[in-house]
Structure 1
Amino acid sequence: MLYQNQPEEVVDGFTEAYLLELVGEVDGLRGQAFHSAVKTMKYRDFVTKSEQPTRVLVRTTREVRALPPP
């Protein structure tokens, strides 16, 4: 649902208003808990961390190497 409705790259992501508009299209999602989570940015830290590049470990036959983020 979010992937299909993602804003253009020039837009600053999913705005509060846009998320609350989309919630009406998903059965069972509309409710006070979702509305409150969006309004208070409850999951902001999770989203911020998930957008950061991660280190990838590659195991070879002799050693383990940490590759730099892409």
Structure 2
Amino acid sequence: MAPEPQLPNEPDDDPEAYVGLARQEAEERAGGRGWSTVRSLPPGALITMEYRAGRLNFEVENGRVRRSWRG
């Protein structure tokens, strides 16, 4: 049997803490806290749903983070 893959560690960070921040501030903070990828999306954007360890997603409306989630 093949060994289980080692997933990169994710920062010990609460995605909800980014809600309400300006997009640029949220992206800079996430990078500083160790997220390897930060993805900012408009509301209703079509995205793939694969989970990527180390990625933080933002739904941004009017320049502010409206929703944030891992993967």
TM interval, short-chain normalised = under 0.3
Length-normalised TM-score, structure 2 = 0.25
Larger % of helix: which?
Answer: 1
Q: Which has the higher strand share?
A: 2
Q: With CA pairs under 8 Å and 6+ residues apart, which has the higher RCO, 1 or 2? A: 2
Higher Rg: 1
